[in-house]
A = this chain, B = another copy of it.
Amino acid sequence: MTLQIVAGTANRALAGSVASMLGIEPAAAVVERFPDGELRPVVDGLGGADVYLVQPTGPPVNEHVMELLLLVDACRRAGAARITAVMPYFGYARQDRRGRAGQAIGVHVVANALASAGMWRLIVVDPHTVALEAICAVPAEMLTAVPVLSQALGEQVRDGTVVVAPDLGAVKLAEHYGRLLSRPVAVVRKTRLSGTSVIAEELVGDVRDRPVVIVDDMISTGGTIEAAAEVVADHGAAPEIIVVATHGLFVESAAKRLGRATIQRVLVTDTVAQPTRPEMPLSVCSVAPLLADAIRRLHRDEPLDDLLARA
C-alpha cells in the first residue's frame, strides 16, 4: 500500500506541509465547484493506496463536511485500500447530546454519514467531546496538540505563571497544560450565591500579580475567553495575558475582541486555516508535524499512544 495524502480545500497549506514532512507529494485532487454550489471532487492515482484525506471542518462547516463526504466517495470508487479522514478540527463536536428534547445530535450525524460513505478510520485533534471515539462507528484516533502548544509557549511562560481554564469544561485540558508546564491551574466558574438566583463568575485559584495563560480547546466568537480575561483582570492578574487554544475559528468579531490591550498574545494551531488577522496579536504553530507523525505510524501500523489526547 502506497501512502497518499489527499488535500481537501479546507486547509491545503496544512495538507501540503504534512505531505512534505512525509516526503511525498499530495495526490492529485481537484474539487470543482459548479455555479449552483454543487461540488465535484476528482482524485487520481489512489488505486490500492492508504489514503489520508486532510479536511478540517471549520467554517464554512457545512461546505467542508459535504466536500469531505464527496471526497470519501471519490476515493472509495477510485479503489483506495483504506481511507482515513484527517479532520484536525471536527465541526459539530459540541453537539454530543441533546440540550432539550427535539434537538439533533450533530456529531452523530456527521460521524455516521462519514462512516456510511466509506471512511475507514478517523484522525482528529483535541475534539470538543472526548467521547468522539465512542460515538464514531469506525476507529478514531484523538490526537492532542497540547504538547505542541506547550512547547511553543516556550520561555514566555515566566515564573509564577498560572494556567487558567475559562470554564469547567476546560479544566482537564488546563490540567494537561499544567502538567507539561509545571504550573498551577486556576478555574473560572459560574457560581450561585446561596439561596438566590444570582450567578457570579468566580475564580478558583490565585492569580494576583501573576502572569496568566488562559487555555481552551477552541475559540469561536471569543466570548468565553474575553469574559475569563476580565475575571482574571478583576482578580489582579498581571496585565499580559496569553491565550492558547488548539482551534482558532475566530468567527464574528472574535479578532477584534481578542485584540484588546490586556491580551498580549493569542496562540493557536493551524488545524483550521489561519489567514492573517491584523486585529490581534496572533501566533500560529503548526500541527503538521503531529499529523505527519501520526499518519506515518498508522501507515506503518505502529502504535501512536503518546500522541493521543488525554493519554
A220 CB contacts on chain B under 8 angstroms: 34-36
Once A113-B116, A129-B131 are accepted as A-B contacts, the answer to whether A303 and B97 lie under 8 Å apart by CB is no
A172 at the interface (CB under 8 A from B): yes
Q: Is the CB of A100 within 8 A of B182?
A: no
Kindly report which residue of chain B lies nearest to residue A210, judged by CB atoms. Answer: B194
Q: Chain B nearest CB: distance from A127 CB in Å? A: 10
Q: Is the CB of A37 within 8 A of B59?
A: yes
Kindly report which residue of chain B lies nearest to residue A94, judged by CB atoms. Answer: B38
A113 CB contacts on chain B under 8 angstroms: 69, 113, 116-117
Once A69-B113, A221-B35, A251-B36 are accepted as A-B contacts, the answer to whether A308 and B101 lie under 8 Å apart by CB is yes
A130 at the interface (CB under 8 A from B): yes
Fill in one digit per residue for A94-126: 1 if any B CB lies within 8 Å of its CB, else 0. 111111111111111100110011000100000
CA distance A95 to B77 in the complex (A): 14
Partner of A100, one of B59, B103, B311: B311
Partner of A109, one of B62, B73, B251: B73
A74 at the interface (CB under 8 A from B): yes
Contact stretch, chosen from A41-49, A145-153, A262-270: A41-49
Interface positions of A (Cβ within 8 A of B)? 34-49, 58-63, 65-67, 69-71, 73-74, 76-79, 81, 91-92, 94-109, 112-113, 116-117, 121, 129-131, 133-135, 137, 139, 142, 160, 168, 171-172, 175, 178-179, 182-185, 187, 189, 191-197, 204-205, 220-221, 249, 251-252, 298, 300-305, 308, 310-311
